[in-house]
Amino acid sequence: MVKRRELTEKDRVQIKCSHSVVKYALESVAETGTYRMRQGRGRKQKPTDADVQHLKILSTSDRRKTTADLQVELNASRSESEKVSRMTISRSLNEQGLNGRVAAKKQLLRAANIQKPLRFPRECRHWTVDDWNKVLWTDESEVFDQGEGIWSTGTDGLATSESRLESY
C-alpha cells in the first residue's frame, strides 16, 4: 500500500489553509520545484482606480449628487456589460471615506427672517422701566419646524444687549 503525504487537521489549522490549497501547493512544488502564488485570481472590480478617483471628485465637488446621479455620469460612456450599479458606487465611496448623509432641513435665511428678531428690541429701545414691567417674560418659547414642536430657550439668538442693538 502506498503512503500518501497528507497534513493532519491540526497542521491545516495551524497554517490556516484548506485541504485543497495544501494539495495544489504540493502538486505545484512537485512539478516546478517551487511554489509561487499565481496573480490575477478573483473577480475584477468594475470601477477602476481611475473611476473611483473620478467618483470622489464628482461627489466632493457637488455634495448634493446622489449615487443615481453619479451612476448616470459614470455609465454614460460605458457599454452595457461594463455598467456599474449604484451599490458598487456607494461601496466605492464608502471605502474612500465618503458616507451618505441626509442634509439637515433648515429655514432659509432671507432678509426678512434676519430682521424679525431685531424689530422688537429696536422699537422698544426708548421704553422706561415701567413699560418693561408690563412685558410678560418667559424662559421658553415653542418653535415649530417641519411639523414637530421643539423647545428652545427664549434667549437663543435674540439681540438684547445694548451694544448688539446699536451695531445693527
Q: Cα separation of 44 and 54, whole Å?
A: 18
Give 65's DSSP letter: -
What is the DSSP-derived secondary structure letter of residue 168?
A: -
- Please give the pLDDT value at position 116: 84
Q: Domain limits of the chain?
A: 8-40, 49-95, 116-167
Asked if the model's pLDDT at residue 152 lies above 80, the reply is no
Residues 84-140: tens digit of each pLDDT: 899 999 999 888 888 888 777 877 788 888 888 888 888 888 999 898 888 877 765
Closest CA to 165 of 139, 130, 132, 126: 126
CA separation for the pair 158, 57 (Å, rounded): 40
